[in-house]
Amino acid sequence: MPGARIAARGWGYRYPGRPQALAGVSFDVRPGELVVLAGASGSGKSTLLGALAGTLPVGGSTGSLDVEATAPAGSLPVGLVQQEPESNIVMERVGDDVAFPLESAAVPPARIWSRVDAMLRIVGLDEERGVGPDRPTIRLSGGQQQLLAVGAACAADPALVLLDEPTANLDPESAAAVVGAVAAARAGSGSTVVVIEHRVEPWLALADRVLLSAHGTVSAHRPGDLPGLVASDPDLAGRVWLDHAHLPRRVPGDRPGAAVLEARGVTVPGRLPPTSLTVRAGEVVALTGPPGSGKSTLLSCLAGLLAPGHGTVLVRWAGGQDLDPWSWPAARIAEVFGIVFQDPEHQFLTGRVADELRHGLLGAGLPDTEVGARVDAMLRRLRLGALAQANPFTLSGGEQRRLSVGTALVRDPGILLLDEPTFGQDPATWAEVVDIIGAHRDAGGSVVLATHDPHLVTSLGARVLPLPGPGPTRAGPSRPGRQPVAAGRDSRTGTASGLRRLDPLVLVTAAALLSAAALISRSVGVNLGLAAVAVLAALLGGLAPRQVGLLAIPAGLAAASVALSNALLSQSGITSPLAWQAAALPATRVLAVALPGLVAAIALDPTALADSLVVRLRVPARAAYSVLAGLRLLPLLADEWAILGRASRARGIGGAGPAARARQFTSMAFRLLVAALRRAGRLAVALDVRGLRSGSDRTVARPVTAGWVDAAAMVGGVLALAGALATRL
């Protein structure tokens, strides 16, 4: 299918209630061209991309922006890849994620899977390369997730493919793979491609045209003219990565001093092989290595935020007896270390920029005037003076990065620990970060940083500690973590084993009937019978006896606690056998209510449940799949909760008392909400662009079937409910 033709004539846009975002934009893009769009953050790049994707609020535009494209049957108008890998994924399995836009385009199921296989080959995620359609998406590395996003964006043959900083969060090798995948995908389709990127270098060889956004408008240029333009405009040079020849250098002068921090054989099972390291005063150590090699894990161990499985960490700088930072209270951690997390938003604790810096000086015993002076000095140094009263979460990416470095530095700590401090930054912020790190080192401080950025290492003349990769797995680096539930079902045939053979709607309904029966039953015998049915179904349905045993433990404890609570407050008194006899009913009720649900939760395939809701109950596809995509964030947010715990400790929050715990709990819950709501916004865009917006004629690629087992399960559930009702008569 031919690519889209884009024509902008004096186009402008203004968000409701905001100043004009863009004005006077005129350019042409011919079908099949690849266009790179570059410029400062906040200069309107995302606004233009949103207009092309059709995700901007209607109204507010002036002039004309025409996207001429034909969208024949079986195709979607637009494909989109966003910056954060997680926000591009809407389904639980790789194959289903690529199938999703094809389902939206109402491609017949029989043709969907051959297209999915072809797409996975093009982007390099096929089974020969160790991934394949059945791999759970959560087990992909960030780079693989972006390759998948490219595959899904191009699957339904869109006339226009839009990429919003697709490589900003990736290491150089993964970024090159993404550029290669885009080149391969467009070679087959002839789509027009628009890429927003700070790092334009790897795209220039493919580009037919460069659009620069600056000073409230957008101008079009030939790729060959870009070096000259950047050389003549210092503002542009601070915003666009073109070459690395003129980067500032802050190599060390003096030889490093005494050892301040030591790791001996530090190991975290599954995440970090045994590693030893000595950090000296006045030096910068760079931890490098492929994704998953344990760089962030080692940093957390060094900072006393994570207990190593084996080995020891010793802080020589702090002096005194107690040198192991894991044993320290949070306040002492914040005093000795300045810690910067990969995502600045994980570590913001207050509602104002100035308060963020002030928080870093709490407990330092400084007079108020001194605190104020230090905060002001830091605001000036970070060029954040005008934003002192702003909410930290509203800052741009570069401003947030500078602020997070500031919160680490304001207390003047001996040791700076930084996780990917230059990720996704433009050249101007990059140079500032290098400057700050260099100055800290030259003043006798120590710095350990985890980084993918080879230029950062060279610019600082850092000592490199390479961490080996996570071992040669066939699939390359993939995210470690819990085993997801996605395994055990074949998307294209719908075949599954054990309890998964049941239609998921039947599975949930039958379990709900059993637990409803338990709620109303008045017989200890019936309760025990219902619990036994659940255990039997689990064992016959393919769960390991050990797994079933693990399920029963918390339910058993809960039953015991309910029994105790009833006996304690019983009118006959806790010593009377009558009290315990009466307590047996609610206690067995807990068991019988809990077990069917626990078994069903383990056996449930959420994707199949959504399909079944759409096909059988005619639930609107938009509702079912939006909820499904949101629920997919569960394991991610659970991991994020652990990171927030470490970030709290890094900033001196936490402790043993109930008040300290309550404060930490609320602050973590709040930051988790902010992170989750941000993701919700991006996920909704991904779903809409993949054709969920219209949601009229979808096909479902995975077969939805039911058989005699389903009928038997339903009959069983109804009989159980009837039996329980009989106990009340």
> Taking CB under 8 A as the criterion, which residues in 653-682 touch another protein?
665, 669-670, 672-674, 676-681
Q: Within 10 Å of residue 307's Cβ, how many Cβ atoms?
A: 12
616-645 positions binding another protein, by CB under 8 A: 622-623, 626-627, 629-631, 633-634, 637-638, 641
Taking the complex as a whole, the smallest distance from the CB of residue 434 to another protein amounts, in Å, to 29
Q: Do residues 91 and 607 touch, judged by C-beta distance below 8 A?
A: yes
Report the sign of the C-alpha dihedral through residues 21, 26, 30, 33, in that order.
Answer: negative
33: tokens are 């061209």
Taking the complex as a whole, the smallest distance from the CB of residue 516 to another protein amounts, in Å, to 7
Stretch that binds another protein, among 67-75, 388-396, 491-499, 649-657 (CB under 8 A): 388-396
From CA 548, how far away is CA 530, in angstroms rounded?
15
Q: Which is nearer to another protein, 684 or 709 (CB)?
A: 684
540-599 positions binding another protein, by CB under 8 A: 551, 554-555, 557-558, 561-562, 565-571, 579, 582-583, 585-586, 589-590, 593-598
Q: Within 10 Å of residue 142's Cβ, how many Cβ atoms?
A: 17
453-512 positions binding another protein, by CB under 8 A: 511-512
Taking the complex as a whole, the smallest distance from the CB of residue 200 to another protein amounts, in Å, to 28
Taking the complex as a whole, the smallest distance from the CB of residue 583 to another protein amounts, in Å, to 6
Q: Which is nearer to another protein, 299 or 685 (CB)?
A: 685
**Could you tell me which residues come within 8 angstroms of residue 12 by beta carbon, excluding any fewer than 6 positions away?**
20, 21, 22, 23, 24, 25, 61, 62, 63
- Contacts with another protein by CB under 8 A: the residue count is 74
Q: Which is nearer to another protein, 539 or 636 (CB)?
A: 636
The C-alpha angle with vertex 227 and arms to 202 and 203, in degrees rounded to 5, equals: 15
**Could you tell me which residues come within 8 angstroms of residue 557 by beta carbon, excluding any fewer than 6 positions away?**
none
Taking the complex as a whole, the smallest distance from the CB of residue 567 to another protein amounts, in Å, to 7
Q: Do residues 110 and 99 touch, judged by C-beta distance below 8 A?
A: no
Taking the complex as a whole, the smallest distance from the CB of residue 383 to another protein amounts, in Å, to 20
Site string for another protein, 282-321 (x = CB under 8 A): ----------------------------------------
Q: Which is nearer to another protein, 251 or 487 (CB)?
A: 487
Strands (E), 222-307: 259-268, 272-280, 284-288
261: tokens are 């921090």
Q: Which of 130, 196, 122 is nearest to 154 (CA)?
A: 122
426-455 positions binding another protein, by CB under 8 A: none
169-208 positions binding another protein, by CB under 8 A: none
Taking the complex as a whole, the smallest distance from the CB of residue 360 to another protein amounts, in Å, to 20
Q: Is 6 left (phi over 0), alpha (psi -120 to 50) or beta?
A: beta
Q: Which is nearer to another protein, 118 or 584 (CB)?
A: 584
**Could you tell me which residues come within 8 angstroms of residue 575 by beta carbon, excluding any fewer than 6 positions away?**
none
Taking the complex as a whole, the smallest distance from the CB of residue 375 to another protein amounts, in Å, to 20
657: tokens are 């008392």
Q: Helical H runs in 317-448?
A: 330-336, 353-359, 368-381, 397-409, 427-442
394-423 positions binding another protein, by CB under 8 A: 394
324-383 positions binding another protein, by CB under 8 A: 351
Task: Calculate the CA dihedral of residues 375, 380, 382, 387 and round it to 10 degrees.
Answer: 80
135: tokens are 């791999």
Taking the complex as a whole, the smallest distance from the CB of residue 632 to another protein amounts, in Å, to 9
Q: How many residues does the chain have?
A: 729
Q: Within 10 Å of residue 173's Cβ, how many Cβ atoms?
A: 11
Q: Which is nearer to another protein, 417 or 689 (CB)?
A: 689
Q: Which is nearer to another protein, 537 or 579 (CB)?
A: 579
Q: Which is nearer to another protein, 226 or 633 (CB)?
A: 633
Q: Within 10 Å of residue 597's Cβ, how many Cβ atoms?
A: 17
Q: Which is nearer to another protein, 578 or 711 (CB)?
A: 578
Q: Which of 624, 649, 641 is nearest to 700 (CA)?
A: 624
| Near another protein by CB under 8 A: residue from 366, 693, 703, 704 | 693
Q: Within 10 Å of residue 520's Cβ, how many Cβ atoms?
A: 13
Taking the complex as a whole, the smallest distance from the CB of residue 517 to another protein amounts, in Å, to 11
Q: Do residues 640 and 673 touch, judged by C-beta distance below 8 A?
A: no
Taking the complex as a whole, the smallest distance from the CB of residue 61 to another protein amounts, in Å, to 18
The answer to whether residue 515 forms part of the interface with another protein (CB under 8 A) is: yes
Q: Integer distance in angstroms from the first to the last C-alpha of the chain?
A: 69
597-616 positions binding another protein, by CB under 8 A: 597-598, 600-602, 604, 606
Taking the complex as a whole, the smallest distance from the CB of residue 591 to another protein amounts, in Å, to 9
239-278 positions binding another protein, by CB under 8 A: none
Q: Which is nearer to another protein, 302 or 583 (CB)?
A: 583
Q: Which is nearer to another protein, 332 or 682 (CB)?
A: 682
Q: Do residues 675 and 640 touch, judged by C-beta distance below 8 A?
A: yes
Q: Which is nearer to another protein, 220 or 636 (CB)?
A: 636
Beta-ladder partners of 64: 9
10-39 positions binding another protein, by CB under 8 A: 16-18
Taking the complex as a whole, the smallest distance from the CB of residue 602 to another protein amounts, in Å, to 8
Q: Which is nearer to another protein, 274 or 586 (CB)?
A: 586
Q: Which is nearer to another protein, 277 or 619 (CB)?
A: 619
Q: Within 10 Å of residue 595's Cβ, how many Cβ atoms?
A: 26
Q: Which of 162, 190, 185, 183 is nearest to 70 (CA)?
A: 190
DSSP 462: P
Taking the complex as a whole, the smallest distance from the CB of residue 311 to another protein amounts, in Å, to 28
